[in-house]
Structure 1
């Protein structure tokens, strides 16, 4: 039975990885129409089909999409038969939703996918099953196709959801037409209330360079005329550009590549004295195409300085006849006097720039205009020319937008650039540099072209589509806001005259030169799988921005489950589609932000951690990085979790140091890292072996201090509390923080362990979001405080519950022989729900429970002046070492005060009030609490663990945190249960159960009959909720309310289980909440 159950759940994981399918209500055998008809199944829009793709044994047979409003969502319909077919196409019908609302058929497109036979494989290649070079990419009109036997046809089914669409579920169907028989495909689209902004109001800046006039005045300018058989500025040229504008709006390309100098040529004249009369009608006509289409948010002029790199030249206009009148384009030396038919180039720019500024001002476009001097600069000659150009430009455009594509870490003209746009691999190799630029106020974009290759994300045709879709996610993760690619429609095979038009469909190609294809007959554009994947990623970026504004930890966590760094990301389109849905679910959920407490003693290995450098291993209850060589930034980070305000602590010991640096080498913590595997995109808090603690971010040390009493190689506790812009660092035996720094560079990210030029051991990691433990490191005041021998007022809120020699807790002043009143007060920093206060007695051996008050009150306040008593105790017996919990009805409070009016004595007859720790909690009480279950599959790599019931994730993200699954059974009439110990009596009135929400398994494993029970002692149970014939739920928490009850234990028991697609019965939950 153990082998069978394990195989079944593993099969479910393998199915998720192999199908790469969109979310579905059911999985079934691929369906056929009439006898002998074609086999039809569904693939999600972010995975690649191939002609050699065959249907899995269990495959999606219906389309289920999840959409924001003003968004496009898609799936792929695959058709295959052992017989040849003709007339294969897909017909879409309208979708009907709540209250008779409709998504009309006009909003739904079906296009067949063109199979390009000669794709050159570069980068992170996804090979076809047959190993060939043919890849689907271009999306063609929905004309019936002939399909050979044993060949898979692919159709792209896409729904546009208008901005005003009524939220809800919309149902309909599509029909696969074939000479072998028609097949009906059920369709469901769930529309959420979240709305994607119009392209011209995006928060992301998408800059695909495309052809029009100018740019290089050669191949780029010839691309459209040669592909369509038109002349520049004739009626059909304008038709092509109008269709490009519409396509840009549709695909969220909001940075318009418009050559202001080239577009001036038709309407500009110059007199014999060299005075220009600039005409703007062609420029305005061109720009207004994009304004009218809804694409234009920013204008970006191509570079004004052209190659060669060792002798750059300036784009300049001169008289056609050499004297006056009409003008033409020539290249002239920058910052030079008249020579060889060129004007004084200072004079030229001192005419162009003020005229450009005046015109942009008149049109209201100035603040949205980007100037660019160079493309991929590398030389000092280019730096000299660019600095000259930008200095002139800044005379007329104060604080301008400026940008250049950067292939290297060229800094020669960085002072003049408002935006840094590194190649993504160059960013990865120089994180500190580019994050420093961002922190200094520059915008950060990413760039790709024929590079980077290898495992980096790019948009090559042979690559996983997820790499294209995730580029905006990566940009969001690193704090960026834009992306640039040079090749939207360079429809040539090479870069030499006469620039003949390429056969874009059949020539050998990588996908670098073009993203879309010319529809010559219509003077239009054929989209591609890659352009649609890019658009989906841009929509996701807007959803990430919206979610981060209200639930920053949820946004960060979902992104973390897909991307580790620019070269490590999830290739599964299925998983990307799943996170897209979870973004929408989080935006629509009324619940607050995710909060993910975490502790690890490493006794179970390091399966929660990810590292790409260093020699990391576990041994018993310790985690070691054993390489003491001169490597800086060997990080192992906590995978798939994001944190904003958080307390992170670890015991560490430096066990060896490199001769390079010696005792100045270090070990420590990373918090709020944008990419978990580097040390430059977050805060490094580290202990040097010479006793110094320091805080570093992105190449800069922003604080340091010496730790009193530190001895080389000793085991020490290092803790940092990040709240807002403040980082407070604790180290060694002192109760006071050793260092506090204020910095706003990083607000959310990963947590990790790190070494620099040292080997080290780590024990007892504790990560606690301050939202779950507001008392931790709260401001504390008291009637008196003994500050010696490990006692101190700050030790009452240091997150260490047991008494320790260097962190005993808080004690009122000693040597008072008469009974008296003492109090301690916590300022939680802001008003928040509080429903329980936990008082931890001292726990040091025979002294356990000593100093705990006999009579006391617990009070709360919103202002620190007016107090409400929420708990009163008299004659309280001396407790043992365990937490004493005091629940009450939820109140909103900022301050918590414990007042002892009858104290107990120590062995010397002195009266004290003493606590090892004080905690105040409210809201969801389950995160971080101990869970136990009737059975559990416990697959840490895939993310199935009992502990996940209370880890705060609430989502099913395979390979990160999937949730909990019972063992499988052959019958539904099998009882399974999950129990949460809240750590003490708690006042509760609601239990929330989180179903699985991984597509297509949303709601799978949720019991159809179950009870919720409460207990004060874990033995005697009271049923507060009972359900039977419960339908399979969708995503999101299901809350079950009942009369407020005081209890310590909550148990959910499934008495009728549901089967997976293999007929095995499980009870499965993504999480449990208690409030």
Structure 2
């Protein structure tokens, strides 16, 4: 669980921060109905209420939902009074939206939440305010209830948005009915254009094992008959299964647990010679329930090999009377001849499997059918039996889908499994093993049951609801695509005959045995807070999948703000709902992917970094990991940011090494990590103390090289450019790459610093998306090049702007005694918008500015042959050490060429053209630039910083990057401003302001009157935008266009501020864009 140290609650709440330790974010005073009406307030759907929950001083009283199409979105209405109430219920009506479109009342449900009195607390427990054992979970009907005094009633309000719903904002209300009076709750639902696919066309594979026929032929098979009072295959049994199918479709459970062997029993016969005639009528009827309901995308048969682990037994069918005719189920020894009433098990499988294949082929289900041999295998005997079974199966099913729930890192039959499904904690302990399975082409799922516990995500009733919702997010983060849990409806207290029905509402329970509850009277199902949270997470997975296809860095960044690893995640439901909304906002936005430049000299501490191992500290401008013991993978990673194509560099020095490994021990970088705190779910690029540089991926070294002249313990710069499938590594004094590796295992993820068996110092970390600095990964050619004394053609695009002894920049050579023409050309790899080229002069002391051309042109090209001149300069004076910026109207180009036709001399009197660095930029010019403000509440841990105006995140995510907030004021007529220095003159025609967009505080702090001004010098300003009475905005950037102007500085000044819920006035922005 993610926990953070807390500052004063008053200040944090005044900034409308939804702390994970606070149940509700504050918003507005509870709404009163009649004078004695109950108190009513709103809780999001991913936080858990209790009967002892009381309203905070300021609480939301409006429901505001943000929905994709073909999705369910919910919130909770809480009702409390100091007096007893009767007739408490919630009623709802239709919602009206754009152009008269409606979401009909039939698509809206309100269900009261049942408080289960006897919940056993295990795992990452959320303790009720009164310390008791009662937890809300089951979602019942909407019948009026009696509520005791000082007890909180909870109603689950939910809206289904159809796939064809018109996007826009839909409004209406819900009404709380009570003997103490009625209260109206305003409702708004913002519908986005994104659409969740039907359950039967999902990207995610959700496998909740549920009861029908077979499985263990004991308690699982008895669950429905014993609870509902039905008999297997009677009319009401089929009614229950049909209702289960509808519930599965509704909750995106698209992997249907159907025991093919058990479902054959009613319609199959065998003759005296042991020849089977398989009847498929019952099997087909069962499967078609789920096909018709829209639930069935995959079929998954329960395991065919049963305990004990030391002597596994095979599910077989034999004659009921021992001779021929009808059949029954028996367990028999695998790979054995007929004996003791058992058939020859090879003969049995050689009849079953081809018949199964032929039938699945006929129905079109073969490619979506999963075979499973074992459940939680641990022994060599199980491996032998499973390998035998799968070998038999593969004779008839080439390249089959196979899967098993795995409690340990059992590998005895791994060669036959198309999917690996480890317990979450087992994955966490064996990341390299399971990532290598994924890389080799196997699917990766996660599994949970009564384990894992502790801080691990699970779906126990006593846990934070966010843990249930975030399991699909975690699966997405690690590259997985499925989740398995065994207990959807095992409605028994234990595993002992005669398997009496449990009192699912009042018995002591953990939530492991069942996720849903029986509605006995209707032969149906009651949902739960946990099943709805799981469904919301499955919907989020589909949105993450869609977003990653177009904006991989945005998807990764939003996931990173919620989850560090399987035991460190956000427990605030408000924060989870906020990321859900931001997924939708990013999908709706026409802007490009997020790009998050980052530099850190560590002089301000390490508040941007997160580490769970090692001894990390800062001193001055140095970051140190001081533990030199034999530990590998002490990672400190950059929190809440995701990167795909990126250049990452840092100065490092190995200071000590463990005797275990000695000089082969290392320090380095992590890029594209799925979980920031491990070294096996991404790429490790490291420098050994013996001079070797290597690239490691999930337990395997995939490339290595040597740094010329490396001396143990020296300070050196290590840099990697990850672009597409190529990782190019630079280290030491050489201009050429030390090595280049091509690998496609990881495409986006975290960036971190890491040591292995060594202590090390780090300086000057720099992380630059290649989309913002395309020149940094460019191929460079030149008319000539001098290649000594730190000069080299690659040094012009190494990301180091100042000249350094080992990275001076690029210098021409050629005829140096007379003036002449030289050129340098960059291939950016692909076409992109460009509006500016920055040329950095050499900056080495008294030589600063020497070698900068006097007359020169800047040209661009799409093909490297046909050139367009975008800037011409003559008589250019020798500059100082700062960047020289050359703006122009935006062009689309792949190549940039600088040609000097009149050169200056270097310190030796030779005519050369020299640059310390060359950069090209276009699109949004603000990311990474310096911001300043009139005032600022600087809270780096919580994420409020002036620097966040230009860090590229554009979203408000508490504990990561919340944005910028001015100091508070008592009057709206208070002026506050934020300014961006673009680093040089730039052609500007649009400024984009990003309001804060956390739930439920979207748009708070946005000024109602403001101006946008431009300046060339930071002193004289021209107003290009002026707004008054501006309404509180929703999410997404607000763009203000104007006539193109050349300027260096952009200033946004709020002249009328807006109040927060306490009457304090702020100016707050999540970010600023300039283009």
For 2:1011, what is the secondary structure of its paired residue?
Answer: strand
What per-residue deviation string (whole Å, max 9, x for no partner) do you get for residues 994-1026 of structure 1?
A: 011111111111111111111111111111111
Q: Distance in 2 between matches of 1:331 and 1:902?
A: 91
8 Å contact 1:809–1:915 — kept in the other structure? yes
Note the C-alpha offset of 1:2.
Answer: 29
For 1:889, what is the secondary structure of its paired residue?
Answer: strand
Q: Distance in 2 between matches of 1:166 and 1:453?
A: 43
8 Å contact 1:736–1:794 — kept in the other structure? yes
Q: Distance in 2 between matches of 1:380 and 1:899?
A: 71
Relative to 1, partners in 2 of residues 1:551 and 1:22: Cα closer, same or farther, differing over 3 Å?
farther
8 Å contact 2:16–2:26 — kept in the other structure? no
8 Å contact 1:859–1:896 — kept in the other structure? yes
Q: Distance in 2 between matches of 1:797 and 1:325?
A: 80
Note the C-alpha offset of 1:777.
Answer: 2.3
Note the C-alpha offset of 1:11.
Answer: 3.7
Relative to 1, partners in 2 of residues 1:1029 and 1:430: Cα closer, same or farther, differing over 3 Å?
same
What per-residue deviation string (whole Å, max 9, x for no partner) do you get for residues 754-809 of structure 1?
A: 00000001000000000000000200001111111110000010000001110000
Q: Distance in 2 between matches of 1:24 and 1:552?
A: 31
Relative to 1, partners in 2 of residues 1:568 and 1:7: Cα closer, same or farther, differing over 3 Å?
closer
For 1:6, what is the secondary structure of its paired residue?
Answer: coil
For 2:15, what is the secondary structure of its paired residue?
Answer: helix
8 Å contact 1:20–1:47 — kept in the other structure? no
8 Å contact 1:75–1:156 — kept in the other structure? yes
Tell me the TM-score normalised to structure 1 length. Answer: 0.99
8 Å contact 1:23–1:1000 — kept in the other structure? no
Match of 1:1063?
1063
Relative to 1, partners in 2 of residues 1:15 and 1:1021: Cα closer, same or farther, differing over 3 Å?
closer
What per-residue deviation string (whole Å, max 9, x for no partner) do you get for residues 1006-1053 of structure 1?
A: 111111111111111111111111111111111111110000011111
Note the C-alpha offset of 1:21.
Answer: 13
Q: Distance in 1 between matches of 2:326 and 2:259?
A: 18
Q: Distance in 1 between matches of 2:24 and 2:106?
A: 24
8 Å contact 2:13–2:26 — kept in the other structure? no
Q: Distance in 2 between matches of 1:780 and 1:335?
A: 65
8 Å contact 2:558–2:583 — kept in the other structure? yes
What per-residue deviation string (whole Å, max 9, x for no partner) do you get for residues 865-890 of structure 1?
A: 10000000111111111110000000
Note the C-alpha offset of 1:908.
Answer: 3.2
What per-residue deviation string (whole Å, max 9, x for no partner) do you get for residues 627-666 of structure 1?
A: 0001100000000000000000000000111111011000
Match of 1:832?
832
Give the gaps of 5 or more residues in structure 1: none
For 1:111, what is the secondary structure of its paired residue?
Answer: strand
Comparing 107-116 and 1053-1062, the one that deviates more:
1053-1062
Relative to 1, partners in 2 of residues 1:643 and 1:682: Cα closer, same or farther, differing over 3 Å?
same
Match of 1:285?
285
Tell me the TM-score normalised to structure 2 length. Answer: 0.99
Match of 2:998?
998
What per-residue deviation string (whole Å, max 9, x for no partner) do you get for residues 39-84 of structure 1?
A: 1001000000000000000001110100000000000000001110
Relative to 1, partners in 2 of residues 1:192 and 1:779: Cα closer, same or farther, differing over 3 Å?
same
Note the C-alpha offset of 1:1063.
Answer: 1.1
What per-residue deviation string (whole Å, max 9, x for no partner) do you get for residues 882-929 of structure 1?
A: 110000000000000001111112243321111100000000000000
Match of 1:174?
174
8 Å contact 2:670–2:679 — kept in the other structure? yes
8 Å contact 2:14–2:1064 — kept in the other structure? no
Relative to 1, partners in 2 of residues 1:388 and 1:219: Cα closer, same or farther, differing over 3 Å?
same
8 Å contact 2:850–2:907 — kept in the other structure? no
8 Å contact 2:25–2:59 — kept in the other structure? no
Relative to 1, partners in 2 of residues 1:6 and 1:669: Cα closer, same or farther, differing over 3 Å?
closer
Q: CA RMSD in A?
A: 2.3
Q: Distance in 2 between matches of 1:3 and 1:259?
A: 44
Relative to 1, partners in 2 of residues 1:16 and 1:537: Cα closer, same or farther, differing over 3 Å?
farther
Q: Distance in 2 between matches of 1:256 and 1:52?
A: 39
Note the C-alpha offset of 1:7.
Answer: 8.4
Q: Distance in 2 between matches of 1:931 and 1:5?
A: 27
8 Å contact 1:814–1:911 — kept in the other structure? no
Comparing 412-421 and 904-913, the one that deviates more:
904-913
Note the C-alpha offset of 1:27.
Answer: 2.5
Relative to 1, partners in 2 of residues 1:3 and 1:664: Cα closer, same or farther, differing over 3 Å?
closer
Match of 1:943?
943
Relative to 1, partners in 2 of residues 1:17 and 1:1024: Cα closer, same or farther, differing over 3 Å?
closer
8 Å contact 2:357–2:396 — kept in the other structure? yes
8 Å contact 1:432–1:698 — kept in the other structure? yes
Q: Distance in 1 between matches of 2:4 and 2:963?
A: 20
Q: Distance in 2 between matches of 1:566 and 1:611?
A: 14
For 1:224, what is the secondary structure of its paired residue?
Answer: helix
8 Å contact 1:24–1:1000 — kept in the other structure? no
Match of 2:934?
934
Relative to 1, partners in 2 of residues 1:144 and 1:715: Cα closer, same or farther, differing over 3 Å?
same
Note the C-alpha offset of 1:20.
Answer: 7.6
Note the C-alpha offset of 1:191.
Answer: 0.4
Relative to 1, partners in 2 of residues 1:814 and 1:850: Cα closer, same or farther, differing over 3 Å?
farther
Q: Distance in 2 between matches of 1:260 and 1:5?
A: 54
What per-residue deviation string (whole Å, max 9, x for no partner) do you get for residues 326-371 of structure 1?
A: 1000000000000100011000000000000000000000000000
Misfit runs of 4+, over 6 Å: 1-9, 17-26
Relative to 1, partners in 2 of residues 1:12 and 1:957: Cα closer, same or farther, differing over 3 Å?
same
What per-residue deviation string (whole Å, max 9, x for no partner) do you get for residues 278-309 of structure 1?
A: 00010000000000000000000000000000
Relative to 1, partners in 2 of residues 1:8 and 1:306: Cα closer, same or farther, differing over 3 Å?
closer
Comparing 645-654 and 843-852, the one that deviates more:
843-852
1:844 counterpart = 2:844: yes
Q: Distance in 1 between matches of 2:452 and 2:845?
A: 61
Relative to 1, partners in 2 of residues 1:675 and 1:799: Cα closer, same or farther, differing over 3 Å?
same
1:677 counterpart = 2:677: yes
Comparing 18-27 and 402-411, the one that deviates more:
18-27
